[in-house]
Chains A and B, each alone.
Chain A
Amino acid sequence: GENVEQHPSTLSVQEGDSAVIKCTYSDSASNYFPWYKQELGKRPQLIIDIRSNVGEKKDQRIAVTLNKTAKHFSLHITETQPEDSAVYFCAASLGATNKLIFGTGTLLAVQP
């Protein structure tokens, strides 16, 4: 079946540094790629998403890039802060459906 691979599984950075999380998907028909942040014991919260007709999207300190040819997309967080510490999940749509396939998550720790 279709899947989404996410790397790294854990990431530790110093406050103020940048963090990059990468995902690869297998379904060439995928056209929607959201990113979720999940704090311990809380619900996943959408932080940014990108659609297949766009190569990059930015929202303040967060950016996502998409390479459809290589079937991979990345989350970039600049000027990291301790409150950015959480598990981040990428996801890709199954084709053009509303079904999402989630990556396995990246635990980001921002050290003050």
Chain B
Amino acid sequence: DAGVIQSPRHEVTEMGQEVTLRCKPISGHDYLFWYRQTMMRGLELLIYFNNNVPIDDSGMPEDRFSAKMPNASFSTLKIQPSEPRDSAVYFCASSAWGSNQPQHFGDGTRLSIL
């Protein structure tokens, strides 16, 4: 079974540039989650979708961050303009329909903003 697929695995870019992270959830999963992991703040939920609709975006840090899910098999997280403090590992996870279903994580994107 293919798991959650994220791209790119690593991204290094300069401050002010636009960054786009991509995620393909597990086929058949109805929920998609975007997380950010840093040493200082741990694992934080940024936003999650149910059936392609954003349900809770209260974790999105500011207007520079946006996320979309145009269809059931693809989501993007965009940062524009990027800042050095956005450097982190960004994980995408998905889960099946229903409450209390396990979330399965992708391998993450390690983002460095210079």
Whether a CB of chain A sits under 8 angstroms from the CB of B34 is no
Contact with A along B90-110 (1 / 0, CB 8 A): 010001000111111111100
Residues of chain A with a CB closer than 8 A to B102's CB: 34, 46, 49
Residues of chain A with a CB closer than 8 A to B43's CB: 44, 89, 102, 105
In angstroms, Cα B99 to Cα A93, docked, is 10
**In the complex the two chains form, is A98's CB within 8 Å of B95's CB?**
yes
Interface residues on A, range: 20 to 34
Would A102 and B42 be within 8 Å (CB), given that A32-B100, A51-B100 are in contact?
yes
Per DSSP, chain B at the interface is strand
In angstroms, Cα B43 to Cα A77, docked, is 23
Whether a CB of chain B sits under 8 angstroms from the CB of A45 is yes
Q: Restricting to A65-112, which residues have a CB under 8 Å from any CB of B?
A: 89, 93, 96-105
Contact with B along A35-49 (1 / 0, CB 8 A): 010000011111001
B interface residues, how many (CB within 8 angstroms): 20
Shortest Cβ distance from residue B98 to the other chain A in the assembled complex, whole angstroms:
9
Which of A43, A45, A46, A103 has the most chain B CB atoms closer than 10 A to its own CB?
A: A43
Whether a CB of chain B sits under 8 angstroms from the CB of A26 is no
**In the complex the two chains form, is B103's CB within 8 Å of A46's CB?**
yes
Some 9 contacts from A to B, beta carbons below 8 A apart, are A43-B105, A43-B106, A46-B103, A49-B102, A93-B100, A98-B31, A98-B99, A100-B45, A105-B42
Q: Restricting to B59-114, which residues have a CB under 8 Å from any CB of A?
A: 91, 95, 99-108
Shortest Cβ distance from residue B58 to the other chain A in the assembled complex, whole angstroms:
9
**In the complex the two chains form, is A45's CB within 8 Å of B105's CB?**
yes
Residues of chain B with a CB closer than 8 A to A97's CB: 56, 99
Shortest Cβ distance from residue A4 to the other chain B in the assembled complex, whole angstroms:
10
In angstroms, Cα B36 to Cα A111, docked, is 30
A99 interface neighbour in B42, B45, B108, Cβ under 8 Å: B45
Residue of B nearest to A51 (CB): B100
